[in-house]
Amino acid sequence: MKVYRLFAAAVGAILLTGCKSSDRVHDKNYVRALALSGHEGKIAVFDFYDEESKPYASAGEDFDALREKAELELGKTLFTGHTELIVLGDCDFTASLEFLLNEWKVSPSCLVVYSDEKEWYNIEEGKTDVLADSVRNAVKQGKSPECDIVTVLSGLLSEEGFAEVPFADSDGIDGTYIIAS
């Protein structure tokens, strides 16, 4: 009788233990890079690690609206924990980076560059791997300042209230740009 109860308990535990489908790797879009612009309304272009996924543009009133729209249209949850590059256009730099770091949980090592919205070519064409590598090489060679999100935010939140970041155009990195809080 004890064996029967133990067996029934074990079977019950196995049957009641399940996996949620949202935890599966293939149910998520892993964001490699994000281009962001806008003050009142936000505009974003997402590029993904999955080479089969094309870059996706989204617009919304705020960050949450951007994400919700993208997830609904793409049919997958966006995962930003491994994002390696943020391309900023005309936006509130400090508030945007704080939100991305604290709410969307982008990696603290995520690189930040500035680019005119007309020059989002690298993101829209899915060439973020080349752009991220260019930024890393420019930093190594001393041609660009350290530009991880934590360093940039530290500059923006400092007494001086500014940070120097690489400037990106359709050819890659083209000098530096001062962003201010």
Mean pLDDT value of segment 160-165: 96
Question: For all residues of the chain together, what is the average pLDDT?
Answer: 86
What pLDDT sits at residue 61?
A: 93
Task: Report the predicted TM-score, pTM, of the whole model to 2 decimal places.
Answer: 0.82
DSSP one-letter string for 18-81: ---GGGSGGGEEEEEEEEEEESSSEEEEEEESSTTSPPEEEEESSHHHHHHHHHHHHSSEEE-T
For residues 4 and 177, which has the higher predicted lDDT (pLDDT)? 177
What pLDDT sits at residue 51?
A: 81
DSSP one-letter string for 149-172: HHHHHHHHHSSS-EEEEEEEETTE
For residues 96 and 19, which has the higher predicted lDDT (pLDDT)? 96
Segment (H or E) for 119: none
Question: What does the pLDDT look like over 45-54, one tens digit per residue?
Answer: 999 998 888 8
pLDDT exceeds cutoff 80 at 40: yes
For residues 106 and 173, which has the higher predicted lDDT (pLDDT)? 106
What pLDDT sits at residue 15?
A: 53
What pLDDT sits at residue 169?
A: 83
Segment (H or E) for 116: none
Q: Match 């680019």 to its residue by tokens.
A: 115
CA nearest 32: which of 157, 108, 126, 173? 126
Residues in the chain: 181
What pLDDT sits at residue 23?
A: 59
CA nearest 144: which of 154, 134, 131, 153? 134
